[in-house]
Amino acid sequence: MTATAPTERFSSRVEDYVRHRPDYPPALLDWLRREHGVEAGWRVADIGAGTGISSRMFLQAGHAVAAVEPNAAMRAAAVEALSGFPGFRAVDGSAEATTLDDASVDLVSAAQAFHWFDPVRVRAEWARILRPGGLAVVYWNSRRLSGTPFLAGYEALLSEYGTDYAAVAERHPDDDAMRRWFGDGWRGSVVFPHAQSMDFAGLRGRLLSSSYAPQLGHPAHAPMLEALRRLFEATAEAGRVRLDYDTRAFVGTLDDATAPSSKEPLP
């Protein structure tokens, strides 16, 4: 396992990830319940659960959640944060091999990590663990790259200092690709606005939670933080800046005959 492998990219960033990554808008769960019949009693498998940001959303709404996460450090952070919820269970498994029982969950949730997964293998695995007629919801916060001086400046900073930013940033599939992935099981999609308002400490932590941000000891680390400070001082209002997101969500069933073949990968 290399340091840049998807399951290990965030091992040294757990504390910043816990404190500074965005959550998801409450409207997302409202949409699942109102438009797609998701009920509080549904059992959820949260795949690639990380430190538990998405799991918390379902736990607070009354769901039992199996948080599947292969990274030991991130899984431990989720246990520390969420073990007080009676319906929480941490699972040492991957998106493609969850270790969960057949037909054991009503809803599969996959948030920010979906673009790291093998789309063909996960579709088969999630179809296996879902009960007949169960739903899969795939969603992520897509950071806006422009629209304000701060957003444009932050994107320029990442492009200049990120170690492999161009290769891994904003690699999420588009709407057509997700529709193809669900096939005949497609049920719908939605976009919600979301945002983080941060002081400089929060912005610094948000940046350092990103897998492409050079860490202490890297020659670009100090220059990057100096550039971040200059950007903050030039664009902050009342001591804060705002990262804007579009939260995109896609939902459907997986128990149909139109799964994509290995010749039809997502972009």
Instruction: Identify the pLDDT of residue 117.
Output: 93
Nearest to 59 by CA among 98, 90, 93, 102: 90
Look up the pTM and report it: 0.87
Nearest to 106 by CA among 226, 224, 254: 254
Domains of the chain: 11-252 (3.40.50.150)
Cα separation, 25 vs 38, whole angstroms = 16
Question: Are 64 and 13 within 8 A, CB to CB?
Answer: no
The per-residue pLDDT string of the chain (267 residues; one tens digit each, 9 = 90 and over) reads 334 455 444 445 577 777 888 999 999 999 999 999 999 999 999 999 999 999 999 999 999 999 999 999 999 999 999 999 999 999 999 999 999 999 999 999 999 889 889 999 999 999 999 999 999 999 999 999 999 999 999 999 999 998 888 777 657 889 999 999 999 999 999 999 999 999 999 999 999 988 888 988 899 999 999 999 999 999 999 999 999 999 999 999 998 645 554 434 454
What's 257's DSSP letter? S
What's 48's DSSP letter? T
Counts for the chain of helices (H) and strands (E), in that order = 10, 7
What is the strand order of the sheet 130-143 is part of? Answer: 88-91, 64-68, 43-47, 105-110, 130-143, 241-252, 186-198
**Encoded tokens for 155:** 């994107």
Cα separation, 100 vs 131, whole angstroms = 12
Instruction: Identify the pLDDT of residue 1.
Output: 30
Question: Are 266 and 153 within 8 A, CB to CB?
Answer: no
Helix, strand or coil, per DSSP, at residue 249: strand
Spell out the long-range contacts of 118-122 with Cβ–Cβ below 8 A and sequence spacing 24 or more. Answer: 119/181, 119/260, 119/265, 119/266, 120/259, 120/260, 120/261, 120/262, 120/265, 121/95, 121/96, 122/47, 122/95, 122/96
First-last CA distance in the chain: 24
Count other Cβ atoms within 10 Å, centred on residue 228. Answer: 21
Question: Are 212 and 218 within 8 A, CB to CB?
Answer: no
